[in-house]
Amino acid sequence: MLLELSEEHREHLSFLPKVDYAVVAEFGRISLEFLRKGSNPKVYEGAARKLSVSSNTVQHGVEGLTYLLTESSKLMISELDFQDSVLVLGFSEDLNKLLLQLYLDNRKEIRTILSELAPVFPSYHNLEWRLDVQLASRCLRQQIKPTMTLKLHLSQDGEQSSQVLQTDPATLLHLIQQLEEALGEMKTNHCRRIVRNIK
């Protein structure tokens, strides 16, 4: 699977051949720091002074390299696919080897960082339900008005919470139908491939 880079990312990465290989390796280190702690303008300014370029140029170069490494790590692309993806950028063979080495050395750490950054959603724990049917009221003697009351128990980080939902049967049937369609979609080859690449 080849990594597709937009024109903007190619433009950001076009700065790399203009600097020394040691600087590219340093940009790789800064990219990992960017993933761990976020953007640090002082680092960009310091590097810009040393290279006699604007801090925006350095920032774009680091962001482009970060994107290249994170997307490659997310998709777990092979060495050959990474080389082919970088080959279209028109870099020298030595720079391509350096980028490949950066990717191979850091892909496990990048995947670990990305998994820590992923949001944690509540998970299903239990479901209680009740069906209420109103047969008549003072105004209407013959009326049938069913209502489903659901109490959804969720757990997140060891803590339990519950949500009470109330709906009519028609809406509940529509919800069930949509969820079954989503589960059916998850069984397709395309979705299985995506889920396999996410893990």
Q: At residue 152, what are phi and psi to the nearest 5 degrees?
A: -100, 120
Residue 13, C-beta contacts closer than 8 angstroms, at least 6 positions apart: 5, 61, 64, 65, 68, 89
For the chain, the residue count is 199
What's the farthest any 2 CA atoms get from each other in the chain? 87
Place of tokens 């809406």: 171
| pLDDT tens series, the chain, 199 aa | 677 778 888 888 887 888 888 888 888 888 888 888 888 888 888 888 888 888 888 888 888 888 888 888 888 888 888 888 888 778 888 888 888 888 888 888 888 888 887 788 889 999 999 999 888 877 777 778 899 999 999 998 889 999 999 999 899 999 999 999 999 998 888 888 887 776 5
